[in-house]
């Protein structure tokens, strides 16, 4: 397949964790992949390029999006994955911490989706997959701000799905149960066990399971699947 015909995927937060796994998964599937994070990535592979971009910074996101437009003339898939967490009692959460979680998780998802949709409109096709969490339906104590930003991502997903359906763009979100990544590393083992016990399927979600759901959502035959939030671990 020629370079121009390859599907192009943008994966935000591709330096580590779920984003890194999905970037490599797409590369193995023959896609061109653009990734980003605030700090440099050690992923070097044919078909992969990395941008140093903070998704909460509109100017940086617009510049990255224009670079994708100039280089590929298209964008087929957006994995709106960059996210941070701050586990704390709501009463002990400083506004600055809440603001930074909101900026990355919600405003970042919004601005990346907005700019990506403009690129996808060119070919009247596209797939946007954002990241929510089981923290939303489980209403976990200590995750008020994180869960609230993910609720906002869910609302954004549902409304964007309606606005973009006429351009052939689907918009969905995945809500994984806990995954073993940097994000969850600092949660003490006893707290994690208690958290998992809230789930009908009380175990970690694997990266392979996430890739499987992503593959379904981005499949060319999934044109009719939009505005959905798909939880893992039996939550929701």
Partner 1 sequence: MALSLIGAGSSIKSITLVAILVGVEQRLAEQHGIDLSLMDERAMSQSRSPFRTIGTLTDYLEALMRGKTA
Q: Counting contacts by CB under 6 A, is residue 56 touching ligand NAP? A: yes
52 — phi, psi (to 5°)? -85, 100
167 is catalytic: no
Q: Counting contacts by CB under 6 A, is residue 83 touching ligand NAP? A: yes
Q: Counting contacts by CB under 8 A, is residue 166 touching partner 1? A: yes
Angle, CA of 149, 126 and 132, to the nearest 5°? 20
State the minimum distance, in angstroms, from the CB of residue 227 to ligand NAP: 19
d(CA 221, CA 119): 21
From edge to edge, which strands make up the β-sheet containing 229-231? 48-52, 32-37, 8-12, 77-80, 126-131, 169-175, 229-231
Q: List the interface residues with ligand NAP, window 30-49 (CB under 6 A).
A: 36-39
Rank residues 134 and 161 by Cβ distance to ligand NAP and give the closer one: 134
Of 66, 54, 64, the residue nearest 103 (C-alpha): 54
> Which of 21, 146, 167, 231 is the catalytic position?
146
Residue ranges binding partner 1 (CB under 8 A): 62, 66, 69-70, 118, 121-122, 163, 166-167
Q: Which positions touch ligand NAP (CB under 6 A)? A: 12-13, 15-19, 36-39, 53-56, 81-84, 104, 108, 131, 133, 176, 178-179, 181-184
């Amino acid at each position: 397949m020629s370079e121009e015909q390859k599907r192009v995927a943008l994966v935000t937060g591709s330096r580590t964790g779920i984003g890194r796994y999905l970037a490599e998964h797409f590369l193995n599937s023959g896609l061109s992949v653009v990734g980003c994070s605030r700090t440099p990535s050690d992923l070097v592979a044919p078909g992969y390029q990395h941008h140093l971009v903070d998704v909460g910074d509109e100017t940086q996101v617009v510049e990255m999006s224009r670079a994708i437009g100039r280089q590929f003339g298209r964008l087929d898939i957006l994995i709106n994955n960059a996210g941070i967490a701050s586990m704390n009692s709501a009463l002990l959460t400083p506004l600055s911490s809440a603001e930074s979680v909101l900026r990355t998780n919600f405003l970042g998802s919004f601005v990346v989706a907005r700019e990506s949709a403009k690129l996808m409109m060119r070919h009247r096709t596209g797939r946007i997959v954002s990241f929510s969490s089981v923290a939303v339906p489980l209403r976990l104590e200590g995750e008020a701000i994180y869960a609230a930003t993910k609720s906002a991502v869910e609302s954004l997903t549902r409304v964007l799905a309606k606005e973009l359906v006429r351009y052939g763009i689907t918009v969905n979100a995945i809500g994984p149960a806990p995954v073993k990544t940097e994000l969850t590393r600092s949660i003490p083992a006893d707290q994690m066990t208690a958290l998992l016990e809230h789930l009908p399927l009380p175990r970690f979600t694997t990266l392979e399971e996430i890739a499987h759901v992503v593959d379904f959502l981005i499949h060319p035959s999934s044109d009719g699947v939009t505005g959905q939030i798909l939880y893992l671990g039996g939550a929701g």
